[in-house]
Structures are given as C-alpha cells and as structure tokens.
C-alpha cells in the first residue's frame, strides 16, 4: 500500500508546475519538536472552543502531546481571544502525524502549529 506522502512526492515529480504547492506540505510533516505549541478548534453550531497542546516528544510518525491551559488575552462581547500558558491539563496523548503535518486530537478535531496570534473563542452565554 502506498502512503499519501509517497503519492504526493510522485505527483510533484510528474507535474513540476505543482511543486511550489506540494513541497510546503511535505516539509511540514515531521517538523515538530519538543515545546512546540499546537492549536485546535472545535466548532459545534455557533460555539467555537479553542484548545492548545504542547509537544512533549515527536518522531516522524507520531507525536506525544500535553494539553495546556489557555489564558484570556482579550474579552469582547460574546468572544474572547486566548493564548496558551505552560500549565498542563490532563494526561499526555499519543497521536499519529498526518501527511500534511496536522494531528487529530479528537474525532473530527485537528491541531496544527500555532502561529503565535491569540485565537478567538465563543464566550460563555453566546448563542444560548
């Protein structure tokens, strides 16, 4: 069975015009290191929840994550923006790394590298 990564590599060789779009995807996978922060967003209707994770250990195929507590950077009516703190929450989890570098932290919830900007989350009471 061929992996998605090997199929992307073959596609990049077969169609050089796609290389600028495919190579960044291939470089992201396996680029995690200890201490990196990932962010995941779970949306249920109008409510949006933000979760931050810290990389404990990473290999080329899987990653061990520790969820970390968020801190409110700014609060507006019905929306607040969050940033990660170093405070751990819960147990460490081990997950496979997808071919694009994203990590599934829960069913239908994917985490990606945090870009350092505060993340908006629906505040309590919004839409309810």
Residue with tokens 């819960």: 90
pLDDT of residue 1: 32
According to DSSP H, which parts of the chain are helical? 4-14, 19-28
Q: How many residues does the chain have?
A: 128
| Backbone Cα Rg of the chain | 17
The answer as to whether 16 is a domain residue is: no
The answer as to whether 12 is a domain residue is: no
Report the SS3 class of residue 16: helix
The model's pLDDT over 46-92, given as tens digits with 9 standing for 90+, comes to 788 999 999 999 887 889 999 999 999 998 888 999 999 999 999 99
The answer as to whether 85 is a domain residue is: yes
The answer as to whether 41 is a domain residue is: yes
pLDDT of residue 28: 56
Nearest to 68 by CA among 82, 85, 49: 85
The answer as to whether 6 is a domain residue is: no
Count of domains for the chain: 1
Which has the higher per-residue pLDDT, 7 or 105? 105
The answer as to whether 107 is a domain residue is: yes
d(CA 42, CA 55): 19
pLDDT of residue 98: 78
79 lies in which domain range?
A: 31-117
Q: Alpha-carbon torsion 66, 5, 21, 42, what sign? A: negative
pLDDT of residue 46: 78
pLDDT of residue 93: 96
The answer as to whether 112 is a domain residue is: yes
The model's pLDDT over 7-58, given as tens digits with 9 standing for 90+, comes to 777 888 888 898 887 776 666 555 788 999 999 999 877 788 999 999 999 8
């Amino acid at each position: 069975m061929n992996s998605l990564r090997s199929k992307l590599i073959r596609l990049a060789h077969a169609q050089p015009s796609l290389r600028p779009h495919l190579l960044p995807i291939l470089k992201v996978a396996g680029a995690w290191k200890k201490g990196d922060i990932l962010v995941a967003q779970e949306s249920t209707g109008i409510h949006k929840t933000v979760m931050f994770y810290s990389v404990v250990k990473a290999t080329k195929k899987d990653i061990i994550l520790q969820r970390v507590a968020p801190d409110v950077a700014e609060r507006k009516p019905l929306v607040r923006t969050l940033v990660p703190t170093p405070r751990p929450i819960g147990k460490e989890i081990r997950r496979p790394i997808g071919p694009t570098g994203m990590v599934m932290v829960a069913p239908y919830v994917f985490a990606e590298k945090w870009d350092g900007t505060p993340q908006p989350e629906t505040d309590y009471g919004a839409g309810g």
